[in-house]
Amino acid sequence: MSLAARIGLEHPVVQAGMGGGIAGAALAGAVSAAGGLGTVGIMGERAFTAALAEARERAGSGRPLAANLLVPFTRRGHVEACLRARVAVVVLHGGTLPEVIRTLTAGGIEVLQTVGTREQARRALADGATGLVAQGRDAGGHLVGVQDTPQTLAAVLEVAGGTSVWAAGGVAGAADTERLLAAGADAAVAGTRFVLSTESAAHPGYKQALVAGTRTVDTKLFGFGWPMRHRVLVNDAVERWGEGPAAVRALNERSGRFGARLPLTLMERYPSVQRLSLPVFTAGPALAGMPDRVLRVAPLYAGTSVAGLHDVIDAAEAVACLTPPGR
């Protein structure tokens, strides 16, 4: 039985976990209530626990719910919150955590690892992951993908054996979902489509930028504390600094070690004090309620899918738009 069937997913549409507050209870709960799989993104432990409880309420009984954990920021409280909220699925991204996989699977939770290569897929399976997310380099936000999504999916399926694989990157509509399902994916994962929903906590100016924008780049500029690649819209920070000065790139490379030890809540608040003139930018997203100037200096995460997205709609409508007929 496929993973989507095991968790009782009505439609093969997954809302990506998006950390730092973008994907909270309102978004995840609405997606799950609409028959997709809603995912609460990582945030400080206390807020994460509360968001999972609220999302569970909003999803309604019998609807599966997921949580996303960025490995460097994962603490014991996050793992306990997932167990307590009885999430059906946890998706890990940005590193390996075999002991957490063991704890969660022992609690009856399906654990998927986000991978971009065959080697990462093999490692995840050896660690005990019960599913994989094949992420292409077209994906928005936090990137492990190095090839286009169809190639990544094919490569990951080659080593997956019977394990279910979901595919992320380039999903703007039902035709994209159908293409990935036809290529062997068990479900399609979309992020940018759901940032552009009423329920996402993205800054309204960020949503407008997504509606208007089409040009994305894959960059490490927003790498203070999280020195991995991101796909973002080109904003003032990217225009002005490109990949950033060499000294800042070196600082970012080293910052992973201590950045992950800082409280996530500090990283989340930092965008409000960032300045265009000082190119030390964190991965903290531009959220509703932050001053408008964050739009110039915070990462405006977007996948190549942004070229096909032109409106802000309710999350339930987004699930319907992404679901192929008869699926």
Ligand X SMILES: Cc1cc2nc3c(=O)[nH]c(=O)nc-3n(C[C@H](O)[C@H](O)[C@H](O)COP(=O)(O)O)c2cc1C
Sites of contact with ligand X (CB under 6 A): 16-19, 22, 41-42, 68, 70, 91, 93, 114, 135, 139-142, 168-169, 171, 189-193, 195, 285, 301, 303, 305
Distance, CA of 60 to CA of 323 (rounded, Å): 20
Closer to ligand X by CB, 16 or 85: give it: 16
Please identify, using beta-carbon distances, which residue of 62 and 272 lies nearer to ligand X. 272
Backbone angles phi, psi at 121, to 5 degrees: -65, -45
**End-to-end CA distance of the chain, in Å?**
17
DSSP per residue over 43-59, as a string? Answer: --HHHHHHHHHHHHHHH
Please state, in angstroms and as integers, the Cα–Cα distance from residue 228 to each residue in 75, 79, 94, 200, following that order: 20, 23, 8, 24
C-beta closer to ligand X: residue 153 or 190: 190
Task: Report in angstroms how near the CB of residue 61 gets to ligand X at its nearest.
Answer: 26
Task: Determine which helix (DSSP H) or strand (DSSP E) holds 229, and give its type and residue range.
Answer: strand 229-233
* Residue ranges in the chain assigned as alpha helix (H): 3-6, 25-33, 45-59, 76-84, 98-106, 118-127, 149-160, 174-182, 192-195, 204-212, 236-241, 246-259, 264-269, 294-297, 315-322
Q: What is the distance between the alpha carbons of residues 138 and 136, in angstroms, rounded to a whole number? A: 5
Compute CA distances 54 → 30, 51, 57, whole Å: 11, 5, 5
| Minimum distance from residue 94 beta carbon to ligand X (Å) | 7
Q: How far is the CB of 136 from ligand X (least distance, A)?
A: 8
DSSP code at position 87: -
| Smallest distance, ligand X to C-beta of residue 139, A | 3
16 or 31, CB closer to ligand X? 16
Token pair belonging to 117 = 């290569």
Shortest Å distance, C-beta 246 to ligand X: 27
Cβ nearer to ligand X, comparing 246 with 263: 263
Minimum Å distance from CB 290 to ligand X? 14
Smallest gap from Cβ 237 to ligand X, in A, equals 16
Q: Which residue's CB is nearer to ligand X, number 21 or number 279?
A: 21
Cα(5)–Cα(137) distance, integer angstroms:
27
CB of 152 to ligand X, least distance (A): 11
**Number of residues in the chain:** 327
| 193 vs 296 by CB, closer to ligand X | 193
Nearest to ligand X of 188, 280 (CB atom): 188
Tokens of 237: 């920070």
Complex with ligand X: residue 250 or 308, whichever CB lies closer? 308
Distances (CA, A) of 179 to 174, 182, 185: 9, 5, 9
Helix, strand or coil for residue 200?
coil
3-state secondary structure of 29: helix
Rounded least distance, CB 190 to ligand X, Å: 4
